[in-house]
Amino acid sequence: MKKEFKVISQIIQNNKRVLDIGCGDGTLMEYLKKNQKNDVRGLEPKKNLVQKCISKGLSVIEGDAEKELIQFPEKSFDYVVLSQTLQAFLYPEEVLNQLLRIGKQTIISIPNFGYWKIRLHLLFKGTMPVTKNIPYDWYNTPNLHMCTIQDFVNFCNSKNIKIDKSMCLTNEKISEITNKNMKYKNIFSQLGIFLIQ
Amino acid sequence: MNSDTVNIKKLIIKQSLELDCGKSIKNFPLAYETYGTLNKDKNNAILTFHALTGDQFVTGINPITKRKGWWTFAVGPGKAIDTNKYFVICANVLGGCMGSFGPTEINPETNKIFGTTFPVITIKDIVKAQKFLIDHLGIKKLLAVVGGSMGGMQALQFTSSYPDAAYSTIPIACSASHSAQNIALNELGRQAIMADPNWKKENSTPNKGLAVARMAAHITYLSKQGLQEKFGRKLQDKGSLKFSFDADFQIESYLRYQGSTFVDRFDANSYLYITRAMDYFDLEKQFNGNLSLAFKKTKSKFCVISFSSDWLYPTSENKEIVIALNACGANVGFVEINSDKGHDSFLLNVPEFLKTLSEFINSTYNDIK
């Protein structure tokens, strides 16, 4: 299981209800179900991945978060997880509002567009950055709304969204983001992981 | 209609069953069949529900019609629902014509065949009768209840009526309340039956109207694309158009065949009763317009499956069920299977579907073992 999922699973307490949005092949869900006795549900737009999840005994619904989240009642999950997908939605702000409505807490991770390699790529090559974490060209990328860690934090502040925890990942190394090290982390982190409500 | 139903398994239900119509019945037969072996813990039983024209003979050769069971692709040794591993049960529905209490039975009070004097039954009544069978077999909790089309409606009703009676519920290609379009199509079939001068209220077969009803219904089970690919405008006798009303096109000939063979195995009055039960099915209404309340009490794990080309019970109607389940925090998975075979997909060899079905059941079994 990738490091990001380990970080997310450590945030989630045992025996809680979790909704994993864009759950893929259900790796995180399976881990949470088996090791932390979480009551997990998933939402995934790709049929083949949904079938994979169902075959693992995971309750996953085929569907698009931008259309489907509305059906879940308020605060019906202890945690809603959205891993590296916010930037791919047509209306990320609306999706985020839904997450905050459904979950008592929301765990969200974003690929950091402020990472130094990305900055240098644009600065020196003058072309849209293509990195290991963001491996798409401008014409085929699903990522419509890239942002930086700083952008996301600013956004939360402006919308009165409470950030309970902020972590970042660089080359598998995990650390905490604080007000003090924010500028530094915004340059040197590949991924931001936030617990918000 | 073959009335040689003497040698099939029947449970005589002695208890009184209160029907939705207000009447009650008792001492009535429920014909059923089982496959595989019930294990010691009695936790490997799967109750399958048949659709409108099915019967209890799920797989193998149907001893009455001598044709393959209706769910041979999905059920049997080594199949998606593996009878080497699971104990599969299926009962002929109340109102049916394969040995269960229905309009072809003799009314002991008049010594005549019931015909249309048989009480109108509902999906809820059908399911109640089957619960008696499950109790009779000594099964406290089924591993799964599963069915497609009207079978899916029974699965939904079963888990709603008996929230603790099944570990998992698999409604396939169905709806929680019969749509206006589906009621209309059923009414078309019923009117075809009743317009036939040979149709009699007491004893109905053979019946040309039933064949027409079947032909119309059969079209609704297929997709436009599927029909086009299979038949196109192909002619029956390679030559040219005959400028008559004989079956020039292969599709005509195919439908006529479907209609005529159906009449041999099915009773027209049963068709009236069972289509009525489908039309009356409205789980939402049973719970005062809130479908979620139908599943509020159950811990059963749901796997809802629809097919992309099914226009009779389209994905949107299956999704209504999923939405209601989510709204009450039930345990639900859902997938739409890509298939061009229309509503009939659940009866056919659609590998993605069979794989999903098999793996869902196997994982549920592993979880409870």
Among residues B145, B102, B114, B144, the alpha carbon closest in space to that of B127 is found at B145
Kindly tell me if the per-residue pLDDT of B166 is higher than 80.
yes
CATH 1.10.1740.110 fits B183-273, yes or no: yes
- Mean pLDDT score across all residues of chain B: 94
Residues on chain B touching A73 (C-beta within 8 angstroms): 327, 329
Residues of B known to be catalytic: 149, 310, 343
* Per-residue pLDDT reduced to its tens digit, A168-177: 999 889 999 9
Shortest distance, CA B180 to any CA of chain A (angstroms): 24
Q: What's the average model confidence in pLDDT over B6-24?
A: 93
What pLDDT is attached to residue B5?
A: 55
* Per-residue pLDDT reduced to its tens digit, B46-88: 999 999 999 999 999 999 999 999 999 999 999 999 999 999 9
Give me the residue from A55, A57, A72 closest to B326, CB to CB. A72
Kindly tell me if the per-residue pLDDT of A131 is higher than 90.
no
Domain boundaries, chain B: 10-179+284-368, 183-273
Residue A71 burial (C-beta neighbours within 10 Å; 0-12, 13-18, 19+): middle
Q: Which own/partner pairs from A155-164 qualify as long-range (CB within 8 Å, at least 24 positions apart)?
A: A156/A194, A156/A196, A161/A96, A161/A100, A161/A196, A161/A197, A162/A196, A162/A197, A163/A194, A163/A195, A163/A196, A164/A105, A164/A195, A164/A196, A164/A197
Is B363 in contact with A63 (Cβ distance < 8 A)?
A: no
Give me the residue from B329, B332, B360 closest to A61, CB to CB. B332
Instruction: Map residue B318 onto helix, strand or coil.
Output: helix
* Per-residue pLDDT reduced to its tens digit, A24-45: 999 999 999 999 999 999 999 9
Tokens representing A196?
């918000």
Q: What's the average model confidence in pLDDT over A43-59?
A: 95
Tokens representing B219?
């079209």
Domain boundaries, chain A: 3-196
Contact B131, B91 (CB under 8 A): no
CATH class of A3-196: alpha beta
Kindly tell me if the per-residue pLDDT of B2 is higher than 50.
no
What pLDDT is attached to residue A132?
A: 84
Statement: the pTM of the whole predicted model exceeds 0.90 = yes
CATH class of B10-179+284-368: alpha beta
* Per-residue pLDDT reduced to its tens digit, B106-139: 998 999 999 999 999 999 999 999 999 999 999 9
Residues on chain A touching B334 (C-beta within 8 angstroms): 50, 60-63
Residues of chain B contacting A, Cβ within 8 Å: 301-303, 322-323, 326-327, 329, 331-338, 352, 355-356, 359-360, 363-364, 366-367
- Whose tokens are 């029909």? That residue is B227
